[in-house]
Amino acid sequence: MKNLRPWGFYEVLYKDETCQIKRIQVNPGHQTSLQSHQYRSEHWIVQQGRATVTLEDDVTVLNLQEVCFVPATKKHRLSNKETVPLVIIEIQTGSYFGEDDIIRFQDDYDRDGISNAQ
- Domain housing 99: 2-107
CB 22 within 8 A of CB 29: no
Residue 116 belongs to a domain: no
pLDDT computed for residue 32 by the predictor: 97
Distance CA 13, CA 26 (A): 17
- Kindly state whether residue 117 falls inside one of the protein's structural domains: no
In a domain, 112, yes or no: no
- pLDDT < 70: residue spans in the chain: 115-118
pLDDT at 110: 86
- What is the pTM (predicted TM-score) of this model? 0.92
Residue 115 resides in a domain = no
Q: How far apart are CA 36 and CA 29, in angstroms?
A: 22
Q: Identify the three-state secondary structure at position 107.
A: coil
Phi, psi of 112 (to 5 degrees): 60, 20
The enclosing domain of 45 has a CATH number of 2.60.120.10
Query: What are φ and ψ of residue 8, in 5° steps?
Result: 155, -125
The total number of structural domains in the chain stands at 1
Question: Is 113 among the domain residues?
Answer: no
Does 57 fall in a domain? yes
What pLDDT is stored for residue 112 in this prediction?
Answer: 77
